[in-house]
C-alpha cells in the first residue's frame, strides 16, 4: 500500500514538473549591444529565477546596435528588444510596429569623444571630420538632431564603419577623428585617453531625448499582454533591486558572461544609475515614459530629422504595466 502510494505520488510530482516546464513560454529578448553593466538587471532576474517564476523562459541575445534591434522587433523577427527611443521614433515613421513598455535611460547616454591634440574643441569643429562607429549605432540615426541643434550641416561629416570594440583603437590610431559611445563606459575612455580626452554629452548640447527603452512588437503585445505585463514587472523589480544593491546584480552578469571584469562593469552600472534618474522616475514610477517628454522628443525628431509618415506619439509607448509603487531611489 505504501509502495503504491509512493509510486502514485512520484508520478503526480513528475506530471506537475512536466506541466510546469510546459508552462514556460520562451521569449527572445535582443539587447542594443553586447552584454555590459547596463544589462545586469536582466541577468540578475534570470539568475534569481524571477522570469522563470513568472512563466518566462528568457533568452537574452547580444545586439549589434539600437537601429538593428528596432528593425528586428518592428518586423516581428524578435518579440522584445532594447533600443534608443529617438531611433525608435524615427523607425516608427518608417513603419516599424513597436511599443515601448519600460524606459531605462531617462537621460540620453549618447556622447562624442575625440583627442584634444587633434585640435577639435567641440561639436562645431566636426565638419570635415571622420566619425567612426558601427553602421547600426543609434548615434547615427540621431546625429542630424545634434548637428542641426548646433548649427552644423549633418552631411558635413564622413561616417566610417568600425566595430564597437575598435572605437578607442581607431581614435588612437587617428583613422577616425571622432567616435561615439554611451556614457556608462565613460570611465574606459578616461582611463585610455587620459588628459587628451575630448568629450561632449549630447544632453549638455541641447539634445536629451529618452535613451534606451524596452520595446515590444505591437502584434506580439496584443496577443501576449499578460506575459508582457509579467516581463515588465519582473524587470522593473530587478532594476530596483540593482539600484539598492548593485554587487549581486553585476555578479550575475559576470557569471553569465565570463569575459567581463567585475570592477569595470560595476562602474558601468553606477554610471547607468545616473542616466536612469529624473523627476518622473523618482516621483512617479521607475521605467515611466512621461507624456510631455515623449511629445517633446517627437517634436525634436520631426524638426531635426523628419518623419516619413506622421503618427500619434502616444501609440509608441505605454505605462500600463508599471508598478507605480516602485520608484528610482537615487
Q: What is the DSSP string of 21-63?
A: HHHPEEEEEE-SSS--GGGHHHHHHHHTTHHHHTTEEEEEE--
Q: Are residues 88 and 132 in the same domain?
A: no
Residue 7 reports pLDDT greater than 50? no
Q: SS3 of 101, please?
A: strand
Average pLDDT, the chain: 93
Residue 1 reports pLDDT greater than 70? no
Q: Are residues 217 and 174 in the same domain?
A: no
pLDDT grade for 136, boundaries at 50, 70 and 90: confident
Give the residue-averaged pLDDT of 95-115: 97
**Sequence-separated contacts (24+) of 244-248 with Cβ below 8 Å:** 244/329, 246/40, 246/270, 246/273, 248/44
Q: Which domain holds residue 224?
A: 2-106+210-316
State the Cα–Cα distance between residues 171 and 35, nearest whole angstrom.
23
pLDDT at residue number 18: 39
Residue 302 reports pLDDT greater than 60? yes
- Per-residue DSSP letter, 306: -
Q: Are residues 102 and 217 in the same domain?
A: yes
- Mention every residue, 6+ apart, whose C-beta is less than 8 A from residue 10: none
Residue 279 maps to which CATH number? 3.40.190.10
Q: Are residues 119 and 164 in the same domain?
A: yes
Q: What is the pTM of this model?
A: 0.89
Share of residues in the chain with pLDDT > 90 (%): 91
State the Cα–Cα distance between residues 175 and 160, nearest whole angstrom.
9
pLDDT at residue number 316: 98
**Number of structural domains found in the chain:** 2
Amino acid at each position: 500500500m505504501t509502495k503504491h502510494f509512493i509510486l502514485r505520488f512520484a508520478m503526480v510530482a513528475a506530471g506537475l514538473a512536466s506541466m510546469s516546464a510546459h508552462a514556460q513560454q520562451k521569449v527572445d529578448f535582443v539587447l542594443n549591444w553586447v552584454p555590459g553593466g547596463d544589462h545586469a538587471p536582466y541577468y540578475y532576474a534570470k539568475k534569481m529565477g524571477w522570469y522563470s517564476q513568472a512563466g518566462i523562459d528568457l533568452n537574452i541575445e547580444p545586439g549589434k546596435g539600437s537601429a538593428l534591434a528596432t528593425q528586428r522587433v518592428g518586423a516581428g523577427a524578435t518579440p522584445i528588444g532594447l533600443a534608443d527611443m529617438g531611433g525608435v521614433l524615427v523607425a516608427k515613421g518608417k513603419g516599424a510596429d513597436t511599443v515601448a513598455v519600460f524606459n531605462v535611460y531617462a537621460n540620453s547616454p549618447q556622447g562624442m569623444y575625440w583627442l584634444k591634440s587633434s585640435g577639435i574643441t567641440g561639436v562645431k569643429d566636426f565638419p570635415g571630420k571622420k566619425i567612426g562607429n558601427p553602421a547600426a549605432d543609434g548615434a547615427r540615426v540621431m546625429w542630424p538632431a545634434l548637428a542641426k541643434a548646433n548649427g552644423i550641416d549633418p552631411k558635413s561629416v564622413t561616417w566610417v564603419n568600425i566595430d564597437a570594440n575598435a572605437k578607442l583603437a581607431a581614435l588612437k590610431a587617428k583613422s577616425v577623428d571622432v567616435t561615439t559611445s554611451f556614457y556608462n563606459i565613460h570611465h574606459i575612455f578616461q582611463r585610455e585617453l587620459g588628459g587628451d580626452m575630448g568629450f561632449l554629452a549630447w544632453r549638455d548640447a541641447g539634445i536629451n531625448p529618452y535613451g534606451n527603452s524596452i520595446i515590444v512588437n505591437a502584434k506580439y503585445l496584443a496577443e501576449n499582454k499578460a506575459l508582457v505585463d509579467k516581463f515588465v514587472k519582473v524587470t522593473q523589480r530587478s532594476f530596483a533591486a540593482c539600484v539598492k544593491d548593485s554587487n549581486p546584480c553585476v555578479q550575475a552578469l559576470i557569471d553569465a558572461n565570463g569575459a567581463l571584469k567585475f570592477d569595470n562593469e560595476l562602474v558601468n552600472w553606477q554610471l547607468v544609475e545616473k542616466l536612469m534618474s529624473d523627476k518622473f522616475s523618482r516621483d512617479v514610477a521607475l521605467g515611466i515614459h512621461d507624456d510631455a517628454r515623449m511629445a517633446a522628443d517627437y517634436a525634436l525628431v520631426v524638426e531635426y530629422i523628419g518623419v516619413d509618415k506622421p503618427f500619434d506619439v502616444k501609440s509608441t509607448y505605454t505605462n500600463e504595466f508599471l508598478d507605480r509603487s516602485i520608484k528610482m531611489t537615487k
